[in-house]
Structure 1
Amino acid sequence: MPDALVVRGGWEGHRPVEATDLFLPFLADNGFEVRVSDSTTVYSDPAVMAATDLIVQCVTMSSIEQQELAGLRAAVAAGTGFTGWHGGIADSFRASSDYLQLVGGQFATHPGKDPAARVGDETDNFLTHTVDLTAAGREHPITAGLDDFELTTEQYWVLHDDLIDVLATTTHAVQPWHPWQRPITSPAVWTRQWGQGRIVVTTPGHSLDVLRHPGVRTVIERGMLWASRTASGS
């Protein structure tokens, strides 16, 4: 039976407990023995990490100790899968360049509405946008058979490197109130090979309704199965 480790915490605005709870039944139904940790200290336990086939992380911002990050990086390099969504993986541990190198992409911002339409709450950053599958995404087991889909939520602008394999993108339009002069396309779903381990990042997932969206949920769930060490031959 494969072992999954769900690590959750950080900024409460992303509701890490409720968000990860949405996926615990899926993991159990797919044969995983699931352990849940509310602290990244578990990453520094060599025995736990060596026995873990999949890590699902939902820790927005926060910080991580050097020995914890070293344990996470070593486990992934040795074959443990690593996945998550939104700020829980793409905006974790902002002060750690070694974490950024591991994941391959970092949240930079989520552009907002026309200032005249803002009301002073989180919806000021909710834009209707499309998640567009790439040619590679239309063939990849995580996203094959899916269509492009539209969301109204935070649209992540991501800084990234060339070691990622992009399965879906989203494009930030030029607007009069923004300072950029041409559309910017950011990865919305990507995979990354790190040593023997597989990493999957899904940037949508700000709120529970987005995580329940059929397209988003399918990508996250398939990503868990694909990233797991037990699927490394597929």
Structure 2
Amino acid sequence: MPTAPPRSALVVRGGWEGHSPVEATDRFLPYLRDAGFDVRVEDSPEVYTDAEQLATTDLILQCYTMGTASDAAVTGLRTAIAAGTGLAGWHGGIADSFRNSADYLHLVGGQFACHPPKEPHELEPDGGAANNFLPYTVNISPGAADHPIVAGLEDFDLVTEQYWVLNDDYLDVLATTTLAARADDPWHRPVTSPAIWTRQWGEGRIFVATPGHSLDVLDHPSVRTVIERGLLWASR
């Protein structure tokens, strides 16, 4: 009996180095290969202009924080997703990419707005990024409990950046997180943001998880499970 041909995965990584795009994506390359993908790695979103390659790509794993992408690259990405290529990623590598492109933001459906810091009395003068690490809970959405990405998982706690996400109503939200309204914050009530979501775009699927600022967060068992499942779910 003939074996099925391997699926094709394209990893696009780069942008701001604070999210360790190489080390972070390297954690998932063996998983993709074990799942039967041929994996190609690129360091520029301009690969999205290669319509021929994207037409045969089953999954794009993007880890490219901020940076820019040409209009042609964003158009190529949107066209490929609409035709059935999957798009997946975590944290700023997908939810804070290409801020200059409204078409990209429309595609993904959720955009990083901020990660509130610790309260003023808790800030360390030399705390650096750790001054933005807060304890918070990722709450699995009750209506999504049987979705294959989060099935069997319970709410879980993290200490890392908590993303406030600007989003639209076309998201299928699998998990949320609620940002507190503290005495020194300018907002006056708690704000609930999507933390894990999917999105159908034409024939393609999109998966986003907002946890993933650092390697230790990616190694959290629930985060790792969600991302691995999300990669497979999004693939053509």
Indicate whether the TM-score tops 0.5: yes
1:136-194 per-residue CA deviation (whole Å, 9 max, x = no partner) reads 32110000000100000000000000000000000001111111111100000000000
2:216 aligns with 209
Alignment of 1:1-234 (within 5 A): 1-119=6-124, 120=126, 121-229=128-236
Structure 2 Cα separation of the partners of residues 48 and 146 of structure 1? 36
Shift of 1:103: 0.1
User: What's 1:232 paired with?
Assistant: none
8 Å CA contact 1:136–1:166 kept in 2: the answer is no
For 1:69-110, what per-residue CA distance to the aligned partner results, in whole angstroms no more than 9, with x for missing partners?
111000000000000000000000011100000000000000
Q: Provide the rounded CA distance (Å) in 1 between the counterparts of 2:46 and 2:186.
A: 41
- Residue 59 of structure 1 contacts residue 87 of structure 1 at CA under 8 Å; is this kept in 2? yes
1:188·1:203 contact (CA, 8 Å) conserved in 2?
A: yes
> What is the SS of the residue equivalent to 1:146?
coil
* Alignment-derived partner of residue 3 in structure 2: none
After TM superposition, the score normalised by the length of structure 1 is 0.97
Identity of aligned pairs, percent?
A: 65
Q: Distance in 2 between matches of 1:45 and 1:217?
A: 30
Deviation string 1:51-86 (CA, Å, 9 cap, x unpaired) is 100000000000000111111000000000000000
1:148 & 1:135 partners in 2: Cα distance? 10
Paired letter, 2:138: V
Distance in 1, matches of 2:144 and 2:211, equals 16
TM-score by structure 2 length? Answer: 0.96
Q: Once the 2 structures are TM-superposed, how far is the Cα of residue 117 of structure 1 from its aligned partner?
A: 1.3
Query: Does the residue aligned with 2:98 lie in a helix, a strand or coil?
Result: coil
SS class of match (1:94): coil
Deviation of 1:35 after TM superposition, in Å, equals: 0.4
Residue type of the partner of 2:156? Answer: F
Instruction: Give 3-state SS (helix, strand or coil) of 1:59's partner.
Output: strand
Which 5+ residue runs of structure 1 have no aligned equivalent? Answer: 230-234
Q: Secondary structure of 1:93's partner?
A: coil
Cα distance in structure 1, aligned partners of 2:58 and 2:143: 25
Deviations 1:98-136 (A, max 9, x none): 000000000000011111211141011100000000023
Q: Structure 2: which amino acid aligns with 1:189? A: I
Structure 1 vs Structure 2 CA RMSD: 0.6
Counterpart of 2:107, as a letter, is L
Using the alignment, how far apart are the partners of 1:136 and 1:45 within structure 2?
38
Distance 2:161 2:59 in 1: 27
Contiguous gaps of at least 5 residues in structure 2: 1-5
The letter for the 1-side match of 2:171 is I
CA contact (8 A) 1:4 1:54 kept: yes
